[in-house]
Structure 1
């Protein structure tokens, strides 16, 4: 573990988290000459190396990879980088930024220390397993995906059933022979189910309320259309759901093999078994809600609604494009199956793809709502000098992605610089008063 700036313990800014968000902010602060320290629990950008399966690829086109001073540099801007390419690109970003960082250090608590001269003289203490640091300002850039979610019903499964969270899944060969139950059909669940399906495994998929979208429509990538429509510039404050959009499940689609739709109905035609929401396990049987048809219909409604918005854009702009279309279901559930016998189905493994929960218990500050999520406006909290960065929909759709974090980092860097200047000016104004009192 190396210590920037000769092992000093006080910094103007401490950034907790060395992923793309923390490094993006480091780049922006270096541009402003603001001293800072990045503290990373594992290694810089480690999540992309350690929590992605072997066939993982981006679901957004390469041209959207735009970190500060480090855009996509390959020859396939409309392609989708695979895992090794992503990590190679990120390794270049790490070298480009050269952040003052320490790795393998866990932040255990962040709290404000009262200052003798009032609020402007207060500091944050950053308590780690490698010692104490202090900072005038702190940025939490550790992401929002901390604890893999596995339901308590997992404890009821027989011990000979192998269980994995999506963060642990690597490839079909990792799982024992036999059928697999994949729980969850968001981006990870749908893609992992497809990965197993393409490998010839018998897959049972418990669906949820995840929406889906087209990969290509009317001659172009859907992301290209939405970019032209300024969807990715829409701030959360203008979204119809406002902050509620942060709780939405991501649309399932894939960039695999050049990009394509993921249609669970087509998987069903090919032999994948689909069910509604998993809600229990009892007597050797999984229990599901009878809502498979509703889940599929809602996903298709979103698919068609996005395409319809593109139709309106094309018509409004007078764009010459291939004709519009509406998705028609290729398969309908013949019945709602609410039970699945584990032994009879030959299920030997379960992959939980129901996401992660945030864990900010180590941030000792009154900035959280009743569900434990930070309350902020574009990453700025009501606790002066405390910020968040890299969270989904922090400001726009791209805030937690390669496409929008640079804009958010630049905004916070400006806020940090402004507060740093205000603190300095306040202290300067106080100096003559101190001299008067001394006289």
Structure 2
């Protein structure tokens, strides 16, 4: 490879490509290093029936946006993959596929030294665009489960047919967990769902997608510093909803009516017995409360702006647990597999620059670190709700490109 670039971008997904588009327009020498292939995560880490939960019209990258015939629909896995790859082709992004970065460190001569699987190179500036979800998380007590039960992380799940016969347990009710439970349920599998503290949101309300209402309300433009809880927002679980079959609510109570077994938070596995906290009812009520509070905000906006929108009755819970099951004898159950959907942890061990907090998260302000010339892009809640999604990565990329450009000019003038 060329031994020096003014900017090296690490990661060839939508974030890395977005900053590449801005650098290309500015004439800044750069290369994008992708350890696998462009947008591979959309195929390699999503299930077969995956769809976006945000509408297609919100898919707008710098200089490129959704141009299909279903702007209010939800792209499927293959469509998202092709959308991102099409973006890279649209401006001939300088991506080196199959090049993994194994080490980044500051150079004693200024800038950064990068060790890669294709050799060592120097960069004046580095943009880390590898997202915030690196290593799948599985709790240690999973080691106590019988070897007869197949275990996999949500990022490894593809379809119901791949799992062994028997019931399936899904642990976690964030976006992936709730949608995988739905996928299995629709395929006729008996599902045991362990509910966490994820909130939910209605798909549609008063004639429109809730995302459209919230977009008009400016909800997605509020910086994290102005959000309740501030930076703590980065640890929040996403609301569960689905874009499947044109989009609809995910109602765990309705699933229970249809035969799905629901449990509270999983605690441990002891002597072949799985134990749960009696938190199910509280979790369901809290998720519903969030969904209804969002409707309250939409109602207030409609009234404030004098918008003519149809009225809609509020949600009424269709099921409540008569009693909460806190133990499950695994030997007596028919569970043949467990899908763990309990998140990821970060892995920046290769980035040997002092920009991390005690939990291994990068310290930054809108992606700008305290170390000159080192930036992050595409992190969850990097600046706003949409930072880790298609919704706002374009804005974040432009913000960083402006700062990179200033440093390029200053360096050239020195």
Q: TM-score range by the shorter chain?
A: over 0.9
Structure 1 residue 320 displacement after superposition? 1.2
Q: Residue 283 of structure 2 is aligned with which of 284, 287, 295?
A: 295
For 1:169, the equivalent position in structure 2 comes to: 157
- Whether 2:76 is the aligned partner of 1:82: answer yes
- C-alpha distance in structure 2 between counterparts of 1:185 and 1:37, whole Å: 38
1:311–1:324 contact (8 Å) kept in structure 2: no
Within-5 A mapping of 1:164-243: 164-243=152-231
**What's the CA shift for 1:168?**
0.6
Q: TM (normalized to structure 1)?
A: 0.93
Question: Which has the higher mean CA deviation after the structures are superposed, 366-375 or 187-196?
Answer: 366-375
Equivalent runs, 1:127-146 vs 2, <5 Å: 127-146=115-134
Q: Which residue of 2 aligns with 1:147?
A: 135
Which residue number in structure 1 is paired with residue 245 of structure 2? Answer: 257
Find out whether 1:280 has 2:268 as its counterpart.
yes
User: After superposition, what is the alpha-carbon deviation per residue over 1:176-195, rounded to whole angstroms, capped at 9, x for unaligned?
Assistant: 11001100000000000000
RMSD: 1.0
- 1:79-116 residue CA offsets vs partner (Å, 9 max, x unmatched): 1111122222222112113221212122111111123x
Give SS of 1:407's match.
helix
Q: CA deviation at 1:160?
A: 1.5
Indicate conservation of the 8 Å contact 1:23/1:97, yes or no: no
Residue aligning to 1:107 = 101
Q: 1:40-439 maps to which residues of 2 (within 5 A)? A: 40-115=34-109, 122-425=110-413, 427=414
Distance 1:332 1:257 in 2: 27
Report Cα offsets for 1:374-429 as digits up to 9, x if no partner.
1111100000000000001111111111111111111111110001112222x2xx
Per-residue CA deviation, residues 15-74 of structure 1 (Å, 9 max, x unaligned), is 111111001111110000000011111111110011110100010000000011110010
Is 1:26–1:97's contact at 8 Å kept on the other side of the alignment? no
Give a deviation string over 1:256-299, Cα, whole Å, max 9, x none.
01100000000000000000011111111111111001111110
| 1-structure distance, mates of 2:283, 2:8 | 44
CA separation in 2, counterparts of 1:279 and 1:108?
A: 37
- Using the TM superposition, give the Cα deviation of residue 324 of structure 1 relative to its aligned residue in structure 2, in angstroms: 4.5
Contact 2:42–2:78 under 8 Å retained in 1: no
Q: 328-337 or 185-194, which moves further after superposition? A: 328-337
> Rg: which structure is higher?
1
When the two structures are superposed, what TM-score results if normalisation uses the length of structure 2? 0.98
Aligned equivalents of 2:38 and 2:229: distance in 1?
Answer: 34
Stretches of structure 2 that go unaligned for 5 or more consecutive residues are none
Separation in 1 of the partners of 2:167 and 2:177? 16
Deviation at 1:130, TM superposition (A): 2.2
Aligned length: 414
